[in-house]
Structure 1
Amino acid sequence: MEIKSYQNQAELLVKEYLLADSVIPYTSVICGICACKMVYDFTQLFSNVYFKSYPGLSKLQRTEWSNRSISTFHAIFIAIMSLYFVFWSNLYSDHEYAGPITFRSSALSTFTLGVSLGYFLSDLAMIIWFYPFLGGMEYVLHHLLSVAGIANPMLTGEGQVYTFMVLISESTTPGINLRWYLDTAGMKRSRAYLINGVVMFVAWLVARILLFMYLFYHIYLHYDQVKQVNSLGQLLISIVPLVLSVMNLMWFGKIIKGLMKTLAKRH
């Protein structure tokens, strides 16, 4: 009976405080930051035991190793949730008569954005702290746009559908990180490295090129609803996907060159 009482109190605490509509944005961001810290620490402990090459890495390399682990976990989480909300959930379905699609949100969608925002804030802090080892100005710009693009719809509940469409592009991150791990482990000439390059090319084409074309087409079809969003939201919907799409095209060019270089070496 005493255990049941504690369980009921815990459920009440979560429902009335942690998941209350007014505090979800803040508790979710804290959860995201704490999750990043947990993954970072766990990666260091796990890698030190199960990867022989890990102890031989420099301090900065071990930092990047754990940092990429965080981004991989976040990418898997946010890609799955974003795909669910955009393509499988009825939340943003045109067949649902729940008002303009740009004003739809839920406790779960807001919580998901908060966790993602917590990650981007944590990663941005690490990039700045170790600058430029973990990434140059293009990464700082990418993360600043991501923070702005997530924070506004999370706090206002407006335009969340387009934020999730953009966040689907994070599905390419695990492949990028795997490529770095293979390179660091001295497996640049392995078959796995070649397969990774091909998969990266296809994933980037689908998630960061074709998907963004669909996003712009979706905005065009629902422009009358987009115009009802707050002024900052309209600005972010217009600018963030556009700037990210340009950056995606630039990075895509580098991926193509890298893949061609790898194929040439194997022949």
Structure 2
Amino acid sequence: MEKKSYQNPAELLVKEYLLADSFIPYTSIICGICACKMVYDLTQLFSSFYFKSYPSLSKIQRTEWSNRSISTFHAIFITAMSLYFVFWSNLYSDNQYAALVTFRSSALSTFSLGASVGYFLADLGMIIWFYPSLGGMEYVLHHLLSLIAVAYSMLTGEGQLYTFMVLISETTTPGINLRWYLDTVGMKRTRAYLINGVVIFVAWLVARILLFMYLFYHVYLHYDQVKEIHSYGLLLIFVVPSVLSVMNVIWFAKIIRGLRKTLAKRH
């Protein structure tokens, strides 16, 4: 009886406050930030025990090592959620609901976007604090655009489908981070490094080039619904993916040059 008396108020707190619709955005952001902190600390703890080269790294390299583990963790989480909502969930199906696809949302979709906002806030803070060691101005611009777009979609419920489409591009992040890890520990000339480069090329082509084309095509097909969005949200739908597309193409050109250079050295 005593255990139950403690359990009921705890369940009530979670259901009525932390997971109430009005509190989900703020709860999810806090969860995202706390998850980043937890992953950062655990990475430092495990790396010092299980990676012999970790203690010999410089202070900023150890910071980037842990920072990249955060982005990898976020990428796996948000890619899984985005793929589910875009391709498997009925939430955004054309034939499932009478409501406009651009205004559909759920508690789970909002929570997922909020957790992503928490990550972008934490990571952007680290990039600015250690600037430019963790990334230059292009990373700041990328994170700012992503943060604004994801936060708007989370708070208003508008255009969440297109936000998840863009977030699928995070599927390339684990490969990029693995490449940095392999380079840092002196495995740049290994077969694993070469395979990693090929995987990055394919993933980038699919998730950051072809998928963005599909996004714009989907917007074109559903423009009668898209135009009903608030003017600020409409601006974000067109501007953010367009800017990110240009950045993706520029980075893709660098990936191609790097892969060609690596293949040339192998031969």
TM-score bracket relative to the smaller structure: over 0.9
The offset of 1:11, in angstroms, is: 1.8
Q: 2:162 maps to which residue?
A: 162
The offset of 1:120, in angstroms, is: 0.3
1:110-141 Cα deviation digits (max 9, x unpaired): 01000000000110000000000000000000
Q: Does 1:132 align with 2:132?
A: yes
Q: 2:148 maps to which residue?
A: 148
The aligned length equals 267
Q: 2:175 maps to which residue?
A: 175
TM-score (norm. length: structure 2): 0.99
- Paired residue secondary structure (1:92): coil
The offset of 1:7, in angstroms, is: 2.6
CA distance in 2, matches of 1:7, 1:78: 31
The offset of 1:2, in angstroms, is: 2.4
Aligned AA for 2:216? F
Cα root mean square deviation, aligned: 0.7
Q: Which runs of 5+ in 2 are unaligned?
A: none
Q: 2:70 maps to which residue?
A: 70
Aligned AA for 1:126? M
Q: 2:197 maps to which residue?
A: 197
CA distance in 2, matches of 1:123, 1:103: 29
- Paired residue secondary structure (2:22): coil
Q: 1:26 maps to which residue?
A: 26
CA distance in 1, matches of 2:258, 2:10: 52
Q: Which runs of 5+ in 1 are unaligned?
A: none
- Paired residue secondary structure (2:63): helix
- Paired residue secondary structure (1:90): coil
The offset of 1:95, in angstroms, is: 1.1
Q: Does 1:121 align with 2:105?
A: no
CA distance in 1, matches of 2:10, 2:58: 43
Percent same amino acid at aligned positions? 82
CA distance in 2, matches of 1:171, 1:98: 31
CA distance in 2, matches of 1:63, 1:102: 39
Aligned AA for 1:66? S
- Paired residue secondary structure (2:99): coil
1:171-209 Cα deviation digits (max 9, x unpaired): 000000000000000000000000000000000000000
The offset of 1:9, in angstroms, is: 2.3
CA distance in 2, matches of 1:189, 1:21: 51
CA distance in 2, matches of 1:141, 1:124: 10
1:32-111 mapped onto 2 (5 Å cutoff): 32-111=32-111
